[in-house]
Amino acid sequence: MASDTNLTALRATAPADTGEKTVFKILLAISFCHLLNDTVQSLIPAIYPILRTSFHLNLGQIGLIALTSQVTASLLQPLVGLYTDRRPQPYSLTVGMGITLIGLLAFSMAPSFGTILVAAALVGIGSAVFHPESSRVARLASGGQHGMAQSLFQVGGNAGTALGPSLAALALPRGQSSIAWYSLMALLGMVLLTNIGTWMSQHRSYRLKSFPNDPASSTSLESAHPHHVLPRGKVAFCLAILVALMFSKFFYLASLISYYTFYLMSRFHLSVHNAQLHLSLFLGAVAAGTFIGGPVGDKIGRKFVIWCSILGVLPFTLVLPYPNLLWTTILSVVIGFILASAFSAILVYAQELVPGRVGAVSGLFFGFAFGLGGVGAALLGKLADLTDLNFVYHVCSFLPAIGILTAFLPNLEPPKPGMPAPARSSV
């Protein structure tokens, strides 16, 4: 068992330890595939108004669609990551995108609400297969700049999430069957991911078949991770705090991603088209914030980024339910930008807490992201049915106060005036 752990850890640390350079070609390719994957996924919330009209759905049923897709992804991602940590499957990325393609075709032909839920589950399964291994690709190609690599990877997904509603506003008014056209994006993703899978299979961490169970190797690994000596109880406590911060972030994001269009239509009497464009603007700010968070975390420390991102957004969320349309738009952009900068920092921080488990940790935290977003969408939808969306946004405005828990996280790297040494933070 110990040898398996050392094997995985040494595989994960090989790029940084051997001085490999950042492979931007692979990082850009996997980021673009993330864009394709999340563009497809963002079609689901973007078509809620159309589905609501076509199938006479209430907000609770809308939340159930989000719950089905996101919880399916959240339950499977940690399992996929744990499996691929032990038995890497480079071509599983292509399989995951293929499942997403099938889900899109099912969405375009769904005759009933039950079939819509099945299609949403297929998209969730495709996401569950895609994210853990693609996060590993980003780390392998990082050359030790793990925060930058994760941010570049994440910004592709967030850009896709922002692009989806805009594409939906252009194409989906033609009807539910037009969703099938988006399967071409999934097909393109399958081609690119096959090439990435070939690169992964040729990477040294996949070619090496065994490592000697050498005490010197274990000592070297611990020296590369000074925080690895933390007691298991302390590591579990830190992970629990990170989960609480994820809860704050993704419950609040669920309130905006799933119901922002309805909020704008109800309060400011916008059309569906204009409301979707406002949602795209907010999601674009989320993408920009995601890109900034990782490199800044590499330079000044991930704990500081987490602190500023979660707790720092509180004043803006408290004000959001009150102003006019212009200031609502401005505040939503500021909130999206600040809040999104936390995820890459949280993910890399968690990877450093649990060395040698890149896939499992990535799957766990991507899973939490999807699961918390899905549960949040369902619960907030029910709350909106019982009250109204104004009340929902008043309640959610206090969620970033959970960011105060960041004070209990240890610093995993010593303060540095410049970029931290990549090898010290590798997993």
Cα–Cα distance between 21 and 410 in angstroms, integer?
29
Q: pLDDT-based confidence at 136, cuts 50/70/90?
A: confident
pLDDT exceeds cutoff 60 at 247: yes
Q: What is the pLDDT of residue 374?
A: 66
Q: Which of 41-50, 67-76, 287-296, 410-419 has the lowest mean pLDDT?
A: 410-419
Q: What is the pLDDT of residue 6?
A: 40
When mean pLDDT is compared over 201-210, 247-256, 365-374, the highest value belongs to: 247-256
DSSP string, 76-125: HHHHHHHHHHHS--TTHHHHHHHHHHHHHHHHHH--SHHHHHHHHHHHHH
Q: Which of 93-97, 159-163, 341-345 has the lowest mean pLDDT?
A: 159-163
Mean pLDDT of 213-241: 60
Mean pLDDT of 8-18: 40
Task: Give the amino acid at 132.
Answer: P
Q: What is the pLDDT of residue 193?
A: 93
pLDDT exceeds cutoff 70 at 36: yes
Q: What is the pLDDT of residue 371?
A: 65
Cα–Cα distance between 84 and 89 in angstroms, integer?
6
pLDDT exceeds cutoff 60 at 194: yes
Dump pLDDT digits (tens) for 406-417: 989 888 765 554
Of 269, 237, 20, which Cα lies nearest the Cα of 143? 20
Mean pLDDT of 131-152: 82
Q: pLDDT-based confidence at 147, cuts 50/70/90?
A: confident
Mean pLDDT of 122-140: 85
Higher pLDDT, 398 or 79: 398
Q: What is the pLDDT of residue 400?
A: 93
Higher pLDDT, 162 or 417: 162
The answer to whether 223 and 425 are in contact (CB under 8 A) is no
Cβ-based neighbour number of residue 131 at 10 Å: 30
Residues shown for the chain = 427
State what percent of residues in the chain have pLDDT above 70.
Answer: 81
Higher pLDDT, 214 or 364: 364
pLDDT exceeds cutoff 50 at 210: no
Dump pLDDT digits (tens) for 90-111: 788 899 999 999 988 888 788 8
Q: What is the pLDDT of residue 208?
A: 46
Mean pLDDT of 287-292: 80
pTM across the whole model? 0.65
Q: What is the pLDDT of residue 331?
A: 94
pLDDT exceeds cutoff 70 at 64: yes
State what percent of residues in the chain have pLDDT above 90.
Answer: 15
pLDDT exceeds cutoff 50 at 133: yes
Neighbouring residues of 85: CB distance < 8 A, sequence distance ≥ 6: 8, 356, 357, 358, 359, 360
Rg (CA), the chain: 21
